Structure 1
Amino acid sequence: MTSTTRLTRRRLGLLGTAAGLATALPLRHAAAAEFNFKVGTNVPASHPLNTYLTRAAEKAKEATEGRFELQIFPNNQLGGDTDMFSQLRSGALECFLNSGVNTLSTLIPAAAISGVGFAFKDYDAVWSALDGKLGAHLREQIGRSGLVVMDRIWDNGFRLMTNSVRPIGQPDDLRGLKMRVPVSQMWLSLFRALGAAPTGLNFAEVYSALQTRVVDGQENPPAIISAAKLFEVQRYASVTNHMWDGWWFLMNRRAWSRVPAATQETVTRIVNAACLEQRAEIAQQNTSLRGDLAAGGMVFNDVDQAPFRERLSSAGFYREWRERFGEQPWGLLEETVGRLA
């Protein structure tokens, strides 16, 4: 072996060692987190719910020096609401953001009270109730069920009605319309009382059901209508603001109990802060997206809510749900919004 050959091999060996060190360092930082929590949501990745959850995940990982990681699965990637809720309770899924009016109410009936038709006139009323006594009561009920819930509820926004048949200006315009609603007794009861023909479908099925005219219409906040491109298959948008809806950040208690208290405190602080930022974004989008959706072909009309409240009252809607919820949660709701007929 010549000296040149020995020198070349020595250089190659040194280069190989350096390369090995270069690849080893990133691998050390990229090691799996000690606590990896999957988070399921039912809206597209572009929705503010998921963008702000992603920001919270990045901050939580950095603040815990990589020990805690939230992995976001948007747009029903882990299944529909019913599937994800079952996974959450079994421990197959660590976190799930769910409407109190939707699947959560199958376990905790009082959680649906935030969706009482035409109860909240504006955001001041919403946050006064759900960051106040009513929200504390609901979180207590959720905790008793064996789940963990964050302090702040994420905003899904005030909902409007869309359809491909006609504008909705008064309750009679809903008569006979096949309206998709989430799988929830509250939604079904509300639209039946208004004279529509509601059908409960998970969100993953909505676009195709509208496209194939299985249903005539649906109801959702502007951010979801935009993110899910429902304007492609709907013509009329009626600004009823008939219901406010939000997502509780739910966690499997067994999984969360394994996380050290100091890490829990850090993650909780970051997630709740992201929630407040997301609320501000949704409120802004409720206004700005109207122009975007109109440019996409939707025809908007504003609605006087008084005839709808009167129809619900005469149909016994408020009386029925007061009896279902009981005096304590109903009283806490009316303490904020005033008496519901």
Structure 2
Amino acid sequence: MTIKAILIATAAAIGGTSSAFAADITLKFGHVGNPGSLFEASVDNFAECVNSSMGGKVEVQTFGSSQLGKDKELLQKLKLGQVDFALPSSVMSSVDDTFGIFEMPYIIRDRDHMRRVQDAMMDKFQAAANGGGYHIVGLAENGFRHITNNTRAINVPSDLEGIKLRTPNGVWRVKMFTEYGANPTPMAFSDVFTALQTGVMDGQENPYAQIASAKFQEVQKYLSITGHVYTPAYILASQKGFAKLPEDVQAGLTACAASTQDFTYEKAAQLETELLDVIKAAGVEVNEANKDAFVEASAPIYKAFADEVEGGQDMIDQVLGLANSN
């Protein structure tokens, strides 16, 4: 149901029309995750929570595998009211530079650290989203990212020299891998398998859940465990569309988003073990990268963020300062 239809239904309820009919709100949730992905599990959990907890008042319908569009298309469709929710991750750095903080290599240590960052800085992230016309209903995750490729095992940044590497849409990821010596190219997730299979790209970088669900292990020889970036995912609505929903619906959606975050973190930790075994079983050669070498090579990225983004150094200091908080 469109926002206009929702408003008509709400007005009808006020006018005394049957509450069951008036309260029938259907919301579409589009995402790029494949079957078996953490994205799919997270979105399905959110939908199940909403559909079961709101007494039939709201139904969330889910559409994965980029059925309703790729990340950038979904962002646009949110604003047009053609989609009600999306689950963007790295692409949010194209909405506002504030989200680029999560593109800084090794800045997030673990999920507990991410929760502290969320608690301390959510107002800042919400303001950045609002500035782009969006509303963050809650956070999920994409996860800790690792590098696969068909050229060589990656132990230190110089091993990336000349490798054609697919990245998500986001200026800071491109800058990072350029600094490491790779040839990064932003590309929609749905196009990556074919690009790897045909050799258009040598490699890519993603969490295990995305690698395994997209079956990249079938077209990649090496997996290098780098954990170079942790990216949250955002249960995202348009600011105007969300504001037009009844207040009790807004509250119910927000509560389910918080519940989904708990589910997602537990599921992600489980998949990190299970899916690494799946990738290994496909015959992919796995190595532990020298993270100290990557951290050292990342200093110019931090400097660029501090120099180019307003308040960038303050954000870096705040996030790092929360790494070891109790």
Q: TM-score scaled to structure 2, two decimals?
A: 0.87
d(CA) in 2 for partners of 1:290 and 1:55?
Answer: 23
Give the one of 119, 130, 138 matched to 2:107: 119
Q: Which residue of 2 is the match for residue 137 of structure 1?
A: 124
Unaligned runs of 5+ in 2: 1-19
Report the secondary structure of 1:153's partner residue.
strand
Report the secondary structure of 1:297's partner residue.
coil
Q: Which residue of 1 is the match for residue 216 of structure 2?
A: 230
Alignment of 1:261-276 (within 5 A): 261-276=247-262
d(CA) in 2 for partners of 1:70 and 1:113?
Answer: 31
Give the conservation status (yes or no) of the 8 Å contact 1:35–1:259.
no
Asked if residue 39 in structure 1 is aligned to residue 29 in structure 2, the reply is yes
After superposition, the Cα gap between the structure-2 partners of 1:62 and 1:31, relative to the gap in structure 1 and judged at 3 Å, is: farther
Quote the RMSD (CA, aligned, Å).
2.0
- Residue type of the partner of 2:81? G
d(CA) in 2 for partners of 1:57 and 1:290?
Answer: 28
Q: Which residue of 2 is the match for residue 146 of structure 1?
A: 133
d(CA) in 2 for partners of 1:153 and 1:271?
Answer: 7
d(CA) in 2 for partners of 1:282 and 1:164?
Answer: 26
C-alpha deviations, 1:281-331, integer Å up to 9, x for none? 101211221112101111111122111121222xx2211011223243233
Q: Which residue of 2 is the match for residue 201 of structure 1?
A: 187
Asked if residue 95 in structure 1 is aligned to residue 85 in structure 2, the reply is yes
Q: Which residue of 2 is the match for residue 72 of structure 1?
A: 62
Asked if residue 323 in structure 1 is aligned to residue 307 in structure 2, the reply is yes
Give the conservation status (yes or no) of the 8 Å contact 1:190–1:317.
yes
1:32 to partner: Cα distance: 9.8
Report the secondary structure of 1:132's partner residue.
helix
- Residue type of the partner of 1:172? S
Q: Which residue of 1 is the match for residue 76 of structure 2?
A: 86
1:54 to partner: Cα distance: 1.8
- Residue type of the partner of 2:221? R
After superposition, the Cα gap between the structure-2 partners of 1:63 and 1:164, relative to the gap in structure 1 and judged at 3 Å, is: same
d(CA) in 2 for partners of 1:303 and 1:121?
Answer: 16
Greater mean deviation of Cα atoms: 258-267 or 203-212 = 258-267
Give the conservation status (yes or no) of the 8 Å contact 1:134–1:329.
no
d(CA) in 2 for partners of 1:75 and 1:307?
Answer: 35
Q: Which residue of 2 is the match for residue 279 of structure 1?
A: 265
d(CA) in 2 for partners of 1:33 and 1:229?
Answer: 41
1:115 to partner: Cα distance: 1.8
1:33 to partner: Cα distance: 6.5
Percent of counterpart pairs with the same letter?
27
1:153 to partner: Cα distance: 1.6
Give the conservation status (yes or no) of the 8 Å contact 2:141–2:234.
no
d(CA) in 2 for partners of 1:328 and 1:118?
Answer: 17
Unaligned runs of 5+ in 1: 1-29
Q: TM-score scaled to structure 1, two decimals?
A: 0.84
Corresponding pairs, count: 304
d(CA) in 2 for partners of 1:293 and 1:44?
Answer: 16
1:97 to partner: Cα distance: 0.9
Greater mean deviation of Cα atoms: 155-164 or 255-264 = 255-264
Report the secondary structure of 2:298's partner residue.
helix
Q: Which has the larger radius of gyration?
A: 1
Alignment of 1:281-320 (within 5 A): 281-313=267-299, 316-320=300-304
d(CA) in 2 for partners of 1:203 and 1:242?
Answer: 19
1:132 to partner: Cα distance: 2.3
C-alpha deviations, 1:270-289, integer Å up to 9, x for none? 22202211111101211221
Give the conservation status (yes or no) of the 8 Å contact 1:188–1:200.
yes
Greater mean deviation of Cα atoms: 200-209 or 280-289 = 280-289
Report the secondary structure of 2:233's partner residue.
strand
Report the secondary structure of 1:251's partner residue.
strand
1:74 to partner: Cα distance: 0.6
1:47 to partner: Cα distance: 1.4
Asked if residue 62 in structure 1 is aligned to residue 56 in structure 2, the reply is no
C-alpha deviations, 1:31-84, integer Å up to 9, x for none? 797221111111113213222322332332232222211111111111111111
Structure 1 stretches of 4+ moved >3 Å: 30-33
Give the conservation status (yes or no) of the 8 Å contact 1:91–1:254.
no
1:169 to partner: Cα distance: 0.5
d(CA) in 1 for partners of 2:159 and 2:196?
Answer: 18
Q: Which residue of 2 is the match for residue 251 of structure 1?
A: 237
Q: Which residue of 1 is the match for residue 173 of structure 2?
A: 187
1:163 to partner: Cα distance: 0.4
